[in-house]
Amino acid sequence: MAAPKRPMNVLFVVSDDLTSTALGCYGHPLVQSPNVDGVARNGVRFDRAYCQYALCAPSRASFLTGLRPDTTRVLTNGPDFREFHPNHVTMPQLFKNNGYQAIREGKMYHMGVPGTVGTDRWQDAASWTHNGSPQGKEHNSKGETHDLTPHIAPGVGMRTVRTPDASEQADFDAANRAIAHLEKHRNDPFFLGLGFVRPHVPFVAPSEYFDRYPLSKIRLTKNPDGDLDDIPGIVARTLGATAGNMKMNEDQQLEALRGYYAAISFMDDQLGRVLKTLDRLGLRENTVVVFMGDHGWHLGEHSFWQKRSLMEESAKVPLLISAPGMKGRGQVSRSLVELVDIYPTIADLCGLTPPGNLEGKSLRAVLETPKRTHRSEARTQLNAGTTEGRAVRTADFRYIRWKTPTETAEELYDHRKDPREFTNVAGDGRYAAELTRHRALVATSAG
């Protein structure tokens, strides 16, 4: 008689404020991210994956519930989705309800960085059998500190800390805790949600990680003269302090890039410690590994920094899925996908039945055949006060519509000719048909 099949485990890793443009597996020539790159080699790298909201709390509430932001009604870094959906079964809760150890270590739902690191606020106790909040000193860590934007508050401003002590950092603690859980539950089915706070500001990492990136080797983002001339004025108003290079000069921008890269490499090493444990315990062949960012991040493109834009760099996220038995191992998918697809995908791979009201669809077929088309469009939205922004990314275009009570503004970018979105063709009559088509797509998403 054949032995019963073991349930599939899940290692679900989310890195905070991580852009795909700053990872080795996505082609960055300088950033060292060997452990993230290893997940890509063992799985499928999604080159056109998009968040549903370009801000932490709304994005995370969306992909952890499998519901779009209009449904969760979490549109800022504040509300708890349970205020509106008290009985919804979240992704980790589905596993908990099916006998899994549903473990959180680190930032899964919203966590204010640096302010609420190490607390369990917003982390939804109903989702977990273990609800852990690793500790970290953030910008209060000992070491050499540089505040590159003293006019901007912590959590948004660019601040670097070269610390001698990795053990003071939440990501180091998170990896230690994750390793302990793997040891303890090696014979139990588990869903381990591991949330790294880096590379979110402040950029805190041991000095050795900064030393990997000499300033002489770092290159600033180049934007053409007049890049912003055809972008609606409403965009700068929604970005606030993160526009205009945050008033950093070129030397400060280089320092900010070095801090960001150092934070990524530090996070990557913590991921590597967890993956090595997974291998040592013989769990990799029975574990779905997902690595992703919660949204994108600007590093000077269009003179923007941080998130909260609806352009490609802010809406697109790194997404890697390594699933045992899938034929797409080591391949790349160019299909449009959304983070709202993650919940049904993981449930499908593990043979669990998710709630019937999920608004994404499983990527299993793409993991088998990465050349397969999954979606014809991907949607991202953003609110800033009374301003509402909605974007749709199709195979060849990005369309953005901004609305306030008194004005509407539009952007349209032709990715066939302009992949970095430097030329807004919304006012070009040659694109009238595409403009009409994309307007209709956004109108549909807005209800």
pLDDT digits (tens, 9 = 90+) for 188-216: 999 999 999 999 999 999 999 999 999 99
Query: Span 311-332, mean pLDDT?
Result: 97
Query: Span 266-288, mean pLDDT?
Result: 98
Per-residue confidence band for 4, with pLDDT thresholds at 50, 70 and 90? low
Query: Span 77-102, mean pLDDT?
Result: 96
CA-wise closest residue to 412 among 396, 403, 404, 315:
396
Burial class (CB in 10 A: 0-12, 13-18, 19+), 364: middle
pLDDT in tens, 337-352: 999 999 999 999 999 9
CB 400 within 8 A of CB 441: no
Per-residue confidence band for 2, with pLDDT thresholds at 50, 70 and 90? very low
Query: Span 313-323, mean pLDDT?
Result: 98
Hey, what CATH topology would domain 385-447 get? Answer: Arylsulfatase, C-terminal domain (3.30.1120)
Domain ranges of the chain: 9-372, 385-447
Burial 390-408 (b: 16+ CB within 10 A, else e): bbbbbeebbbbbbbeeeee
Stretch (H or E) spanning 270: helix 250-280
Q: Is pLDDT of 287 > 80?
A: yes
- What are the tokens at 399? 């369309």
Per-residue confidence band for 78, with pLDDT thresholds at 50, 70 and 90? confident
pLDDT in tens, 96-129: 999 999 999 999 999 999 999 999 889 999 999 9
Q: Phi first, then psi: what are they for 48, rounded to 5°?
A: -135, 65
pLDDT, residue 444, reads 80
CB 35 within 8 A of CB 320: no
This prediction's pTM: 0.97
- What are the tokens at 33? 């991210």
Q: Give catalytic residues, as residue numbers.
A: 56, 110
Q: Is pLDDT of 376 > 50?
A: yes
Stretch (H or E) spanning 409: strand 408-414
What gap in Å lies between CA 115 and CA 54, rounded to an integer?
A: 20
Domain 9-372 indexed as CATH 1.20.1560.10: no
Q: Is pLDDT of 293 > 80?
A: yes
